[in-house]
Amino acid sequence: MRHKPIIIVPGQPDSIFFEIFFKSLIIKKIKSPIIFICCKDLFKFNAKKYKFNKSVNFIYSINKKKNLLSNSIYILDIKLKKNKLKKIQLEYNKKYISRCFHESFILLKKKITHKFLNGPINKKKFLGKNYLGITEYISAYFNQKKTGMLIYNDKLSVCPLTTHLPIKLVPKKITKLSIQDKLKIINNFYINKLNFKPKIGVTGLNPHCESISKFNEDEKIIAPAIKFSKKKAISVSGPHPADTIFLKQNRKKFDVILGMYHDQVLTPLKTLYEYDAINITMGLPFLRVSPDHGPNEKMVNKNLSNPISLYKSLEFLDKN
């Protein structure tokens, strides 16, 4: 069986990505060919630093007919105009990251593959106020308005209805339609990509799904959206109080928990599984995955970073 390649954009040079990538390949061989969209000198510099001795192929173009070998690494060179490589790794470079993304998006549009992975990026530096996160940045490029962030673990996954949004703005973004759309996206992703129909639990917005305000979002918005989705043959229940849905006996009932905001569901999931989770963007015309953590600039060059999330990301794409 011929495996489709995995396209990788390492992210920012001043991150832990190369360290955890080389550690990941020690854990397990990846059958899919890997195409790095990055500076070849930066790759070579890091390969030497982390004593990665596997041969690498440098290529200048890619098409569907090109025969890429399994368990092989290819690099499509994106030039970085720096004289000292040690300095490169210590500097953030927005233009370079943008060029890497652009080249990878061209290959994805040409349908060279359906597998894409990007390394961690400082969202504030790279996106500014233009996008809430990389999920929205990629979705906008491919003109996909209905996508979702899935933090995936094979025991339990979570999806925030709103992503990197200030708490004070969250209630304004909670609508019946947004909840219905997100439930549909989750359901379709699991059926089409993971081959089973998920059981979904939905949290309330307010503590205990109660409110002293005249308008209770849990009763007026969330509950009706769940009722509507049930009629569309989606296996969903709620709203459930967010403070108890992650208790051991409760979370066993679900494959996915849809929360109303980022930290409401990501905090308990990371407490339960730490780095053993990956970030998947649902609703794109390809599989986009990234490790579920940031660039962690403070850990660069210390060789102490945990590679499990990147390893799981590569493993997920390799199987799909």
CB 81 within 8 A of CB 99: no
Q: How high does pLDDT run on average in the chain?
A: 93
pTM of the model: 0.94
Q: Are residues 53 and 131 in the same domain?
A: yes
* Of 294 and 197, the one with more pLDDT: 197
Q: Are residues 28 and 132 in the same domain?
A: yes
Q: Are residues 1 and 122 in the same domain?
A: yes
Per-residue pLDDT tens over the stretch 108-133: 999 999 999 999 999 888 998 889 99
Containing domain of residue 27, as a range?
1-144+284-320
Q: Are residues 128 and 7 in the same domain?
A: yes
Q: Are residues 278 and 290 in the same domain?
A: no
Cα–Cα distance measured from residue 201 to residue 183, given in angstroms and rounded to the nearest whole number: 10
User: Beta partners for 37?
Assistant: 76
> Interior CA angle at 77 toward 72 and 82, to 5°?
130
Residue with structure tokens 């390893």? 311
Q: Are residues 9 and 111 in the same domain?
A: yes
Q: Are residues 188 and 290 in the same domain?
A: no
Domain of residue 274, CATH code: 3.40.718.10
Q: Tell me the H-state helices in the chain.
A: 17-27, 40-49, 85-88, 94-109, 123-127, 134-141, 170-173, 176-193, 217, 223-231, 248-251, 262-273, 308-319
How many domains in the chain?
A: 2
Q: Are residues 134 and 175 in the same domain?
A: no
Element (H, E) at 167: none
Length of the chain equals: 320
Kindly calculate the radius of gyration of the chain based on its CA atoms and give it in whole angstroms. 20
CB 90 within 8 A of CB 108: no
Residue 238 has pLDDT above 90, yes or no: yes
Per-residue pLDDT tens over the stretch 94-104: 889 999 999 99
Q: Are residues 130 and 228 in the same domain?
A: no
